[in-house]
A and B are shown apart, each in its own frame.
Chain A
Amino acid sequence: MMKNKDDLISQDVFDHLVDLAAFKLADDEKDYLHEQMNHQLDAIRELEAIPLPEELPVTTHGVEYGKDGKPALRKDEWTACENTKEILSQAPDLEDNYIVVPDIPTTELE
């Protein structure tokens, strides 16, 4: 079932996606990205047009692990990480061993 060519990504949908993705974009970036996304819809329409037999299962991982190929689950045994300080040293803002960020915008409304 081919979609109408005019069924492009609307400005509203685009803006919503940019919001979801937490990007601040410059105008020329927005134009480029929006345009490219519409181009890429062709590929998706291609996907939609592929005839699928009923009851076709999904394949999350292509490879067949077989009965014995799957790794066992992890044993419940504690191993302390020896370089937690090194991990924390990567934080842009660290205070009293807490990672610090600006506050979350919540509004209390009564």
Chain B
Amino acid sequence: MMTDLSALSALELAELVRTHQVSAEEVLDANLARVEKVDGCPGALDADLSPEDANRVHAFITHTNDIARRQAREVDARIANGEAAGLLAGVPFTVKDIFCVRGTPSTAASRILENFVAPYTATPVARMNAAGGVMLGKVNLDEFTFGSSSESSAFQPSPRNPWDLSRVPGGSSGGSVAAVAAEEGALSLGTDTAGSIRQPAAFCGVVGMKPTYGRVSRYGLIAFGSSLDCPGPIARNVKDAALMLQVIAGADKADATTAVKPVPDYLQDIEKGVKGMRIGLSPDYFRITFPDPEGGEYVEQPLPQEISDAVYKAAEHYKAMGAEIIEDVPMPNTRFGIPVYFVISRVEAASNLHRFDGVKYGYRTKEAVRDLTEMYRHSRGEGFGLQPKLRILMGMYVSAAQYSEQYYQRALKVRTLIRCDFEQAFDPNGKYKLDALLTPTTPTPAFEMAAVYGDSVMMQYADQLTVPANHAGVPGISIPAGFSEDGLPIGIQLLGADFNEATLLRMARAYEMTTEQEDWRKKKPAILEGK
């Protein structure tokens, strides 16, 4: 019974807890036992790595067992008193360590915040707590979310893919998806800036959603790309993702970029199917387009067959369920997503990371310094990893006065073009009138650890299918759609119009329902099978 509890969905758990069939503390214990079994040592600075590490998931940086225990007991007390215990009553979850949670180390996976204990709690986390959620801990990520594999974390070992522990879980929300895939908590709060929820969700066979920009408050999210960052839910199935979104979505007075739009009931119509819905396929999403390093001409490389096939098969399913499939929807500016992202994200990141100066919190150099300038240089030089440094320098380069007109301003204009692609596709009075676009999530399944890390350009192009949604602000969801020949999870993606998460969730659920009995649904991650 104990181990089974950690395999259940959030919806199931909340129901069991609310109806007194199981206590929140029992659920917690089951999850802690699972964590104990599969996770291994948490990531740490200057860690001594051992070969043993290769056999564990290492999703965590900080375990918050005491907090979790207190929260579970509070839930049980409320239920005992007949009080409402919340939508997430007793559901264990993890939080990407890019969120400030009061009383916990909130590190952004960086040495420069090694000892920072947040004095306040991020709004999405606070909402999950208020809904009865039980926080197991802070999970690992790429340092300051810069990366697509989570390997750049200063807290090693970095998370591994529960399906194949020699591979990355993706990034930057690697810890989040690895935890959820390995049944360490039913839910996780991640962030998506260029696909950093959707890509790892695809790599680890879980559901990951990037809500519309402004749907979920960013207050407490240690900022990277302020006009791109979106907190979002990660779960093992679509209804759980919807449940979590229900809890965290909505305007926040502390975030002036949240939209004052009502939050619908995401679960209400989620199983109503897709009859009559218009789902588009775009050729621009079935290839990777990048400039030839030699000539600078654009080169198109089609995606591996098995990736494209997963999407086509899904399209067939949707057709069978009564949706209309519209092919050849042009999204011509998709190819510019990466260079635009390069510039915008780096400019914003360089500025957002200015506050880490050793003055008010976080790491200050222990070296004897002559003056303030030296203190800044040593603290930032010693505290930041290579990837943040690279982002910062690049950001300074492209935003420096003499280049701003060319690069940054230009990037903001190209962003308009990318947004136009989506507006044309979703325009109810336009040519295509789509309810959603169906695309692959990533060009490849999970790659091996240390494979691509270090060559930053290649890493970045992997996000070509996810980053346009961040530029345009539209919502997107990645759901598991089978496995590659090597037995690695493959994800498919649905992209929708502003604030149409309910539609995406409904479509995603329809796919889930129609493929429920397929064999591949029975597979479990390697780490969970008799280890």
Contacts and interface: CB of A to CB of B under 8 A. Distances in A.
Direct contact of A and B (CB under 8 A): yes
Contact of A63 (B357, B392, B411, B473): B473
Interface in A1-42: 2, 9, 13-14, 17-18, 20-25, 29, 32-33, 36-37, 39-40, 42
Interface in A37-78: 37, 39-40, 42-50, 52, 56-65, 68-72, 74
B454 to A, nearest CB: 9
B326 to A, nearest CB: 23
A102 B473 contact: no
Given A21-B392, A46-B339, A56-B417, A103 B384 contact: no
B407 A44 contact: yes
A80 interface: no
B376 A22 contact: yes
A18 B358 contact: no
Given A25-B381, A71-B260, A62 B390 contact: no
Contact of A105 (B364, B373, B396): B373
A61 B261 CA distance: 16
Interface in B88-111: none
Contacts of A61: 213-214, 227, 257, 473
Given A37-B394, A44-B339, A91 B377 contact: no
Interface in B331-377: 336, 338-340, 342-343, 350, 357-362, 364, 369-377
A61 B393 CA distance: 24
Contacts of B340: 47
A62 B471 contact: yes
B504 interface: no
A70 B372 contact: no
Interface string A77-110: 0000001001101111100000101111100000
B371 A103 contact: yes
Interface in B199-231: 212-214, 227
B474 interface: yes
Nearest to A104: B372
B257 A47 contact: no
B160 interface: no
B119 A52 contact: no
B460 A103 contact: no
Nearest to B397: A17
Contact of A42 (B291, B377, B381): B291
B119 A90 contact: yes
Contacts of B433: none
Contact of A2 (B296, B342, B392): B296
Give the residue among A21, A49, A69 with the most B Cβ atoms within 10 A.
Answer: A21
Contacts of B414: 47, 50, 52
A70 B376 CA distance: 38
Give the residue among A25, A72, A90, A104 with the most B Cβ atoms within 10 A.
Answer: A90
B350 A21 contact: yes
A65 B457 contact: no
6 contacts: A37-B397, A44-B342, A62-B471, A64-B473, A101-B359, A102-B372
Given A21-B393, A29-B386, A69-B260, 4 more contacts: A20-B396, A42-B293, A56-B416, A92-B358
Interface of A: 2, 9, 13-14, 17-18, 20-25, 29, 32-33, 36-37, 39-40, 42-50, 52, 56-65, 68-72, 74, 83, 86-87, 89-93, 99, 101-105
Interface of B: 116-117, 119-120, 212-214, 227, 251, 253, 256-261, 291, 293, 296, 336, 338-340, 342-343, 350, 357-362, 364, 369-378, 380-382, 384, 386, 389-390, 392-394, 396-398, 400, 406-407, 409-419, 455-457, 460, 470-474, 498
A-B pairs with the 6 shortest C-beta distances?
A: A62-B473, A63-B473, A24-B381, A58-B412, A90-B361, A86-B119
